[in-house]
């Protein structure tokens, strides 16, 4: 049984779509009964790739057949390398399912789940998910994070109606995948800091229940990175439970704010631009982990800065014009499809000069009370890097096939990936952006000390 069933079941009770979530050893033995209960009289189709078919797909198919559930021929994605998170794959799957009245049983990790999720959403059908690794939080989240027209987007679609997370399967996954999931979960710390800022400024109010679902147990979920790296069942159970609960919080809130902040903007940027590590697309969770360390390094400088004074000094500074913004984005984004999307997101953040002045006044007034709240939640970049390293996740630019110089440049680009208000927007509003980024990477900065 789950080591912390009350937290999981509490989160599940607030989910809009998911009705069942089993997280236990040999959970696949319950697949037949769960499918029959949730989808009475329906046929099933297992969707996997070659790797996930071996990991759990064949067992999943056998459990369905043994339970007397009618099944279609499994749909196995063929790929010479790592299957890409491309929306066109999901559309091809939806087309193949169009004349088949069946329920997708998606067997795999992030990509397979998102493809099965989006294909089912296109057809207006529910689906069931069998996670094969504790690698990210998207299993239970609304929306599918897929490349569409070259841009990483969260495409609207419901999450699974049922999740069967077999700990025996998940613990047998390559250890690095659990490190990726640990990185995705670590990012929730920055997401909380960013949400506190947006809440204090009236930009995006904290929704207390989804916020608490993630934050109340986050320290526990991150408490045993060594166990995660070793595949210890209790540590992995906490990890996958935390990832699933994060998704349930997203369901309860209606968007990804409870689990995503500025750290995800870096991750989406790198994924959109096709960052590769060892010849394969970079893992989402690995990207989030490195971005979390990077943002905490910047937060350390931010919390030591007179933000209220900077906001006052910037009161009369005019808003950036559309022409200047367009010119800057042209310089920052070499790939046309990313550039155009960044322009749309960046343009959405432009406000009138009087509204900009009012926001700066609000920053100046709110910062004295906000600062201790942020300090209470803060963890140093070094401490987080130590935890990530212990979990098996990458923690330096070199491990992610980038340099500290490119990472510094990405600080100036990540703000345009999403229009959601985060600490990056606070830096822009206060005129501190260039100064604090330079401090983070300068001679007294975190990355210099780690060189």
Instruction: Say which CATH number the domain at 93 has.
Output: 3.40.50.1970
- Please check whether residues 154 and 180 belong to one and the same domain: no
Q: pLDDT tens for residues 54-69? A: 999 999 999 999 999 9
Helix, strand, or coil (residue 45): strand
Interstrand relation of 162-166 and 20-24 (parallel, antiparallel or unpaired): parallel
**323, 446: one domain:** yes
Same-domain pairing of 107 and 202: no
| Confidence tier at 238 by pLDDT (50, 70, 90) | very high
The string of pLDDT tens digits covering residues 266-325 is: 999 998 888 999 888 899 999 999 999 999 999 999 999 999 999 999 998 888 999 999
- Residue 30 C-beta-side C-alpha neighbours within 13 Å: 20
Shared-domain flag, residues 165 and 202: no
Query: Are 273 and 376 part of one and the same domain?
Result: yes
Q: 404 and 263 in one domain?
A: yes
- Report phi then psi at 379, rounded to 5: -130, 140
What does the pLDDT read at residue 5?
Answer: 59
Q: What is the C-alpha separation between 36 and 71, in angstroms, rounded?
A: 12
pLDDT band at 15 (very low <50, low <70, confident <90, very high): confident
Q: What is the CATH number of the domain that holds 360?
A: 1.20.1090.10
Instruction: Please state the rounded mean pLDDT for residues 405-434.
Output: 95
Whether residues 39 and 187 fall in one domain? no
Q: What pLDDT, on a 0 to 100 scale, did the predictor assign at position 389?
A: 97
The answer to whether 416 touches 342, Cβ cutoff 8 Å, is: yes
Nearest CA among 262, 228, 233, 230 for reference residue 167: 233
Count of domains forming the chain:
2
- Same domain? 151 vs 188: no
Provide the domain limits for residue 316: 176-450
Mean pLDDT computed over 134-158: 86
Task: Please check whether residues 343 and 431 belong to one and the same domain.
Answer: yes
4 pLDDT band, cuts 50/70/90, is low
Mean pLDDT computed over 5-21: 84
Residue 305: DSSP 8-state: S
Most confident of 74-83, 142-151, 368-377: 368-377
DSSP sequence for 10-40: HHHHT-SS--EEEEETTGGGGHHHHHHHHST
What is the chain's Cα-based Rg? Answer: 22
Q: Of 138, 157, 173, which marks where a domain is finished?
A: 173
Reply yes or no on whether the pLDDT at 444 is more than 80: no
- Choose one of 173, 201, 231: the last residue of a domain: 173
Residue 165: CB atoms within 10 A of its CB come to: 27
193 in the same domain as 158: no
Give the three-class secondary structure for 174.
Answer: coil
The pLDDT score that the predictor gives to residue 319 is 85
Boundary residue ending a domain (124, 151, 173): 173
User: Domain check: are 211 and 147 in the same one?
Assistant: no
Provide mean pLDDT across the span 425-450: 89
Alpha-carbon distance 47 to 385, whole Å?
A: 36
Kindly tell me if the per-residue pLDDT of 29 is higher than 70: yes
| 286 lies in the same domain as 396 | yes
Mean pLDDT confidence for 396-423: 94
Stretch 55-84: mean pLDDT, rounded?
92
């Amino acid at each position: 049984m789950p080591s912390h069933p009350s937290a999981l079941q509490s989160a599940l009770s607030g989910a809009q779509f998911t009705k069942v979530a089993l997280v236990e050893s040999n959970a696949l033995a319950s697949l037949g009964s769960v499918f029959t209960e949730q989808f009475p009289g329906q046929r099933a189709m297992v969707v996997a790739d070659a790797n996930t078919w071996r990991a759990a797909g064949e067992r999943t198919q056998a459990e369905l057949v043994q339970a007397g559930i009618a099944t279609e021929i499994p749909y196995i994605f063929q790929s010479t390398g790592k299957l890409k998170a491309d929306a066109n794959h999901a559309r091809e799957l939806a087309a193949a399912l169009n004349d088949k009245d069946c329920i997708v049983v998606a067997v795999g990790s992030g990509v397979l789940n998102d493809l099965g999720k989006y294909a089912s959403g296109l057809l207006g059908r529910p689906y069931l998910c069998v996670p094969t690794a504790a690698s990210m939080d998207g299993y239970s989240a609304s929306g599918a994070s897929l490349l569409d027209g070259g841009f990483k987007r969260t495409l609207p679609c419901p999450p699974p109606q049922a999740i069967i997370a077999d700990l025996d399967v998940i613990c047998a996954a390559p250890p690095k995948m659990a490190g990726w999931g640990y990185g995705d979960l670590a990012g929730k710390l920055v997401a909380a800091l960013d949400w506190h800022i947006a809440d204090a400024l009236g930009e995006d109010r904290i929704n207390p229940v989804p916020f608490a679902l993630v934050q109340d147990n986050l320290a526990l979920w991150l408490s045993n990175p060594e166990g995660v790296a070793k595949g210890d069942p209790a540590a992995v159970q906490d990890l996958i439970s935390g990832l699933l609960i994060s998704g349930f919080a997203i369901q309860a809130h209606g968007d990804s704010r409870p689990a995503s902040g500025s750290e995800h903007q870096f991750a989406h940027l790198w994924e959109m631009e096709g960052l590769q590590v060892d010849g394969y697309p970079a893992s989402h969770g690995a990207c989030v982990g490195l971005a979390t360390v990077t943002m905490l390094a910047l937060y350390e400088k931010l919390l030591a800065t007179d933000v209220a004074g900077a906001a006052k000094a910037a009161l009369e500074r005019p808003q950036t014009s559309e022409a200047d913004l367009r010119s800057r984005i042209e310089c920052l984004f070499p790939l046309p499809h990313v550039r155009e999307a960044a322009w749309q997101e960046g343009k959405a953040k432009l406000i009138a000069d009087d509204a900009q002045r009012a926001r700066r006044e609000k920053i100046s007034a709110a910062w004295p009370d906000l600062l201790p709240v942020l300090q209470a939640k803060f963890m140093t970049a070094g401490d987080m890097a130590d935890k990530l390293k212990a979990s098996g996740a990458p923690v330096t630019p070199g491990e992610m096939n980038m340099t500290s110089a490119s990472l510094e440049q990405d600080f100036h680009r990540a703000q345009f990936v999403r229009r959601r208000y985060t600490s990056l927007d606070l830096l822009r509003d206060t005129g501190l952006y260039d100064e604090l980024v330079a401090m983070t990477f300068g001679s007294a900065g975190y990355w210099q000390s780690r060189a």
